[in-house]
Amino acid sequence: MAAVRNLLFIMCDQLRYDYLSCMGHPTLKTPHIDALAGRGVLFRNAFCASAVCGPSRMSFYTGRSMRSHGSTWNGAPLPIDELTLGDYLRPLGLKVAVAGKLHFTPDVAGMTRLGLDPASPDTLLLRQCGFEPYDLYEGHVRPPDDSAYMRYLKARYPGDDPWSDHVVGAEGPDGQALDGWLIRNAHLPARVAEPDSETAYTTDRAMAFIREQGDKPWCLHLSYIKPHWPYLAPAPYHAMYPPETHLPIARQIHETRDAHPVVAAYRKNDEGSFEREDVATNAKIAYMGLIKQLDDHIGRLTRFLAEAGRLDDTMIVFTSDHGDFLGDHWLGEKEIFYEQAVRIPLIVVDPDPFGQRGIVDDRLVEAIDVLPTLVEAVGGKVPAHIVEGTSLLPHLRGGDVAAKDAVFSELDYGFRRARQVLGRQPGECQGMMVRTERWKYVEWPGYAPQLFDLENDPGEYQDLGADPAKARIRREMKDRLFDWMTTRKLRARLTDAEVEARTDTHRARGIHIGIW
Amino acid sequence: MAAVRNLLFIMCDQLRYDYLSCMGHPTLKTPHIDALAGRGVLFRNAFCASAVCGPSRMSFYTGRSMRSHGSTWNGAPLPIDELTLGDYLRPLGLKVAVAGKLHFTPDVAGMTRLGLDPASPDTLLLRQCGFEPYDLYEGHVRPPDDSAYMRYLKARYPGDDPWSDHVVGAEGPDGQALDGWLIRNAHLPARVAEPDSETAYTTDRAMAFIREQGDKPWCLHLSYIKPHWPYLAPAPYHAMYPPETHLPIARQIHETRDAHPVVAAYRKNDEGSFEREDVATNAKIAYMGLIKQLDDHIGRLTRFLAEAGRLDDTMIVFTSDHGDFLGDHWLGEKEIFYEQAVRIPLIVVDPDPFGQRGIVDDRLVEAIDVLPTLVEAVGGKVPAHIVEGTSLLPHLRGGDVAAKDAVFSELDYGFRRARQVLGRQPGECQGMMVRTERWKYVEWPGYAPQLFDLENDPGEYQDLGADPAKARIRREMKDRLFDWMTTRKLRARLTDAEVEARTDTHRARGIHIGIW
């Protein structure tokens, strides 16, 4: 083991915190991901900044909460002057690249206003959130036909759109092609060969990148699109998890009565179909298979790193941007603030001689903590007046840790049918969560809050948002949100040291105030 | 009277709301400013976004609160991607320029990161907050020797630094030169001839600009440095307001006992000297003279506009960035949230045929409302997802007005000795005010709040911040601050219309979620 020189920042998409065997899943065995945990620290209480791909990732990439970076939804551009991981790592000599998904939307209007050409090579990094696009692949999000993966597929499969026909094409029992977007087909195999699937391809590309770097330092963001929908796994993974291997759906009938207005409105989104048991079950067959496949590729990648000698000088972060309801709470997808959506898996392997091995850390940590961890791991320092996360290095190396007593998450549901169901305007659709070890409080401006007692009701079935006996707790939690809002980093253009140096200096500049 | 074609946006610096005869000052007669009020609307309850020059102005120029634009102090750069008045007005065909002071600090680091040359003519507008620098003059803030005014002085007065020798130089009783920075000399005349003084020069330059434009539409920000310190007026204004013409100092002895910690710390800044009556009195002699001088030049300017035919097509805004304590509450300067600091004069003359004349409007309005007013007056529209202020046009034209029920102001005192006195770090020195018609509440993170009952204690002498009987009011006011923070404009890169157009559109893009 040696000092950290490289950073492998692995993100899965929509991988729920409890769908790993190291996180307690009883039937879904993930030995390779578990092995990462065995070599590092498993954070069992990690939370994303927003349970939506885009804003969650922008918080990972900036180390700032959603309300600070301003990219509140998929496709909402990140303001051009937000600093991202590459801005911090590149000056330290690392090549910073991505293989897989970013879900980043460039601030073209901002570039144009400043006279920057959004089509010029000069603005490449601004267009890719500060990552060199080694092999960018956004899955379902953008037309897939401009990606290297699409070209790869076209060289191997017939037709104009082999992605739709094979990756998202399901093979029926009689060999017929069926639409893999439809959940009724989620138990069928994808028509793509496993080695050509998204997870396999992206792993290949990651290994190619690492191989190409030789001994030069790098940060690779290996960003898998899976197990995000479309729920469809290639053989043999499609058939590994029949319904009897599934966790029971976590929901109670009373949740559908007197539901919180925003939760009720979310059940009217398309994914409200997950209240049907067959939808949830069929989705889980594919979902679990996709995770098993991911685990096998993490195993392949780990062996590759071992053989290349890179396990000794590479910090590995394994996480996800958010979770998936899979029918729990009568919900599908993610976004609202139940644990299934906002809690994320987080494992960090630190090859530093002081890096701890096989530790389980149950303290509250946040997605915004990852950026400062990565930067500090390679000797950098993040500006305290910009970055809102806290480095996890003390967690990793057994140092004194001032544990967080609360974590926070946000949502802008203005882009969702739920907004229209509720009759609200864009810009008035916020949700804000604060969660301590004991309590989870969600502020929904315009509506009553939600409150859950995680000690007595870990399943979050009893909303105490209107319970008169809990008024004091709600008050306390709302005040925590207040304090949190006031401590977001507002003064983004002067460091604390510059403020210190400028404090009370007017006399030295010949400015006399109030001198008789 | 005709449609508004030009915009004359007059700002004074540190002009307290009640130091105009139209605002009730009993001895300081300001007939020319009063005449503006007579031709327009006098807003008697207007408040700045921060009672500090830089952040207050950035709120005027962006239409956004301090926590949204991020320039929290003098010299704290405005992030490069904040849109300012010029961004909204220039596309409408107006020439947008400044004569006088901006107190703007460009985001050089932001420019450099984006490959923009901070010395190139291409970035001129970015360096000047979107204003063409027709005649930029920052007074005491920057070395005055690169300004046109300094060259003007050098052509007329001897020495290397005629500004210090004459504009800020006082003439003693025996003709000796004395330091005009010192308040003991504030009752003496400046050694500059009145027609060469800052106020006269800036007015001349404004008239020159307007003359040069002919019939082309323009927005001129006429931004006077006065009556900001150094407190020194040219003859004959230095001698017009002897102590017997002054308002009594508004303070009570008990305010110095059990003072709020932040207020007490502010009294330890240099301007704490204003607790001395002679300091306050001498300052007021000059302060009132400087305002009288301003008023005379507003008269000169108005006559010029009338002769040029510009009164008929020019909207005039007259305001100030903040006030001045002048010894009230045992304080000097401004910054903390008493009315003397946060309340500002605001007069708008609207030449539109529907523009009301001689109206007094006592509803609560804010500095951030000025930008949308100016833009809408010339037919523009401000983006609702960025601009937080509300156009005052309905106030001006007798339309239906949904009056604000509260106004807000902020402070970052991290740059002040008060911070060190309190032993706090930069980044943890916020103050936030919410004020309704009846109550003023100030949240000081780390300390008890302040609360004043403006109905029963309009002088703000009785701090009810710890009064057990007022717990419910404090709660209510803090919740208003909470709501206000949540409604700041976070999603700065997508319009509300774009959100509306993108709501629930995934199916149209071939994305199927939760479909069986």
Judged by a CB distance cut-off of 8 A, whether residue A138 touches chain B is no
- How far is it, in rounded angstroms, from Cα B63 to Cα B376? 13
Reduced to 3 states, what is the DSSP secondary structure of residue B417? Answer: helix
The residue ranges of DSSP E strands in A151-271, in sequence order, are: 169-171, 177-179, 189-190, 218-227, 233-234
Residue B279 in contact with residue B332, Cβ under 8 Å? yes
Length of chain B equals 516
Judged by a CB distance cut-off of 8 A, whether residue B76 touches chain A is yes
Closest Cα to residue B198, out of B171, B254, B237?
Answer: B237
Sheet of strand A430-435: strand arrangement:
A407-412, A430-435, A439-443, A450-453
pLDDT per residue as tens, chain B (516 positions): 468 999 999 999 999 999 999 999 999 999 999 999 999 999 999 999 999 999 999 999 999 999 999 999 999 999 999 999 999 999 999 999 999 999 999 999 999 999 999 999 999 999 999 999 999 998 875 555 689 999 999 999 999 899 999 999 999 999 999 999 999 999 999 999 999 999 999 999 999 999 999 999 999 999 999 999 999 999 999 999 999 999 999 999 999 998 999 999 999 999 999 999 999 999 999 999 999 999 999 999 999 999 999 999 999 999 999 999 999 999 999 999 999 999 999 999 999 999 999 999 999 999 999 999 999 999 999 999 999 999 999 999 988 887 899 999 999 999 999 999 999 999 899 999 999 999 999 999 999 999 999 999 999 999 999 999 999 999 999 999 999 999 999 887 888 899 899 898 888 888 888 999
Q: pLDDT band at A141, cuts 50/70/90? A: low
DSSP-derived pairing of the beta strands B450-453 and B439-443: antiparallel
Q: pLDDT band at A2, cuts 50/70/90? A: low
Does A58 have pLDDT greater than 90? yes
Other CB atoms within 10 A of residue B353 CB: 9
Instruction: Provide mean pLDDT across the span A439-443.
Output: 98
Q: Which of B112, B486, B505 to mutate to test the interface with A (most CBs of A within 10 A)?
A: B486
Structural class in CATH, domain A6-95+138-404: alpha beta
**Residues 312-331 of chain B whose Cβ lies under 8 A from any Cβ of chain A:** none
Judged by a CB distance cut-off of 8 A, whether residue B77 touches chain A is yes
Q: Which residues of B touch A125 (CB under 8 A)?
A: none
* Nearest CB to A184 within list B272, B427, B516: B516
Does A144 have pLDDT greater than 60? no
Q: What is the dihedral of CA B238, B243, B245, B247, to 10 degrees?
A: 120
| Superfamily of segment(s) B6-392 | Alkaline Phosphatase, subunit A (3.40.720.10)
Closest Cα to residue B110, out of B122, B126, B131?
Answer: B126
Residue A224 in contact with residue A199, Cβ under 8 Å? yes
Q: pLDDT band at A494, cuts 50/70/90? A: confident
Residue A292 in contact with residue A241, Cβ under 8 Å? yes
High-pLDDT (> 70) share of chain A, %: 99
- How far is it, in rounded angstroms, from Cα A5 to Cα A14? 29
User: Which position has the higher pLDDT, A91 or B494?
Assistant: A91
Shortest Cα distance, chain B CAs vs residue A41, angstroms: 31
Q: What is the DSSP string of B235-276?
A: TTGGGS--GGGSPPP---GGGGSS--HHHHHHTTSGGGGGGS
Other CB atoms within 10 A of residue A354 CB: 11
CB contact under 8 A, A415 and B499: yes
Enter the DSSP assignment of A335: B
Q: Which residues of B touch A506 (CB under 8 A)?
A: 270
CB contact under 8 A, B513 and A269: yes
pLDDT score for B146: 80
- How far is it, in rounded angstroms, from Cα A211 to Cα A260? 52
Q: Which two tokens stand for residue A167?
A: 């990756």
Other CB atoms within 10 A of residue A280 CB: 25
C-alpha distance from residue A244 to each of A19, A188, A248, A325 (Å): 15, 17, 9, 19
Reported as a single tens digit per residue, the pLDDT across A301-336 is 999 999 999 999 999 999 999 999 999 999 999 999
pLDDT score for A139: 87
Longest CA–CA separation in chain B, Å: 96
Enter the DSSP assignment of A79: P
Residue B267 in contact with residue B331, Cβ under 8 Å? yes
Q: Which two tokens stand for residue B370?
A: 């000025």
Q: Which residues of A touch B331 (CB under 8 A)?
A: none
C-alpha distance from residue B113 to each of A351, A504, B91, B128 (Å): 32, 30, 27, 19
Closest Cα to residue A413, out of A431, A396, A401?
Answer: A431
Judged by a CB distance cut-off of 8 A, whether residue A270 touches chain B is yes
What 3 state SS string does B380-414 have? CCCCCCCCCCCCCHHHHCCCCCCCECCEEEEEEHH
CB contact under 8 A, A77 and B416: no
Identify the bridge partners of residue B51 per DSSP, sorted by sequence position: B335
Helices (H), A93-251: 108-113, 124-127, 148-154, 162, 198-213
Enter the DSSP assignment of A391: -
Judged by a CB distance cut-off of 8 A, whether residue B151 touches chain A is no
CB contact under 8 A, B513 and A229: yes
Reduced to 3 states, what is the DSSP secondary structure of residue A349? Answer: strand
Contact pairs from chain A to chain B, CB under 8 Å: 242
Residue B445, judged by CB atoms within 10 A of its CB (0-12, 13-18, 19+), counts as middle
Q: What is the DSSP string of B50-73?
A: -BSHHHHHHHHHHSS-HHHH---S
Percent helix, strand and coil across chain B, each rounded to 5?
40, 15, 45
Q: pLDDT band at A143, cuts 50/70/90? A: low
Q: Which two tokens stand for residue A298?
A: 């993490």
Q: What is the DSSP string of A308-322?
A: TTGGGTEEEEEEES-
Provide the ipTM: 0.94
Reported as a single tens digit per residue, the pLDDT across A259-286 is 999 999 999 999 999 999 999 999 999 9
Residue in chain B closest to A79 (alpha carbons) equals: B493
Other CB atoms within 10 A of residue A496 CB: 16
Reduced to 3 states, what is the DSSP secondary structure of residue B448? Answer: coil
pLDDT score for A165: 93
Judged by a CB distance cut-off of 8 A, whether residue A121 touches chain B is no
Residue in chain A closest to B499 (alpha carbons) equals: A415
Sheet of strand B177-179: strand arrangement:
B177-179, B169-171, B189-190, B233-234
Instruction: Provide mean pLDDT across the span A483-487.
Output: 95
pLDDT score for B182: 96
